Structure 1
Amino acid sequence: MPQHAPNYPVCRNCDGFPVVSITTGDRHRDGTRVTVQATCRTCNGTGHTLRATALTRGR
């Protein structure tokens, strides 16, 4: 059964993956890796952008 996706276009900068975890190369004392979360600045972590018509419609 297909799932319904919202009709918002996917962000061009993050390609729909707005939050990622990046390893720094260091390790904690228990052996797990130190990670830093980065959020897409274009879509503010939503993964979607507004259509151009919605942005220019303000008049």
Structure 2
Amino acid sequence: MAQSTPARARICSDCDGFPVVAVTTGVRNRDGSRQTLTASCRTCNGHGHTAPAALARAGR
């Protein structure tokens, strides 16, 4: 008997599945490491995938 497979989540087209990145500022800390800022994707809110269109259209 065939097994059903769950639907795959759609990868966000804006971040290509890499929702959170670290960007260096160019400034070094006292221990020699670099200061970084984290930025998350605005489209998927840092999840890496978007909701299917059917779920997004629910409601008024």
TM-score by length of 2: 0.80
1:17 corresponds in structure 2 to 18
Number of equivalent positions: 54
Residue 57 of structure 1: how far off its partner (Å): 3.5
Quick one: which amino acid aligns to residue 12 of structure 1? S
Structure 1: 5+ residue stretches without partners:
1-5
Q: What is the CA RMSD across the aligned residues, in angstroms? A: 1.5
Task: Give the greater-gyration-radius structure (CA).
Answer: 2
Q: Name the SS of the counterpart of 2:10 in structure 1.
A: coil
Write the distance in 2 (CA, Å) between the matches of 1:44 and 1:50.
11
Deviating beyond 3 angstroms after TM superposition, the runs of 4 or more aligned structure 1 residues are none
TM-score by length of 1: 0.81
Q: Name the SS of the counterpart of 1:53 in structure 2.
A: helix
Quick one: which amino acid aligns to residue 13 of structure 1? D
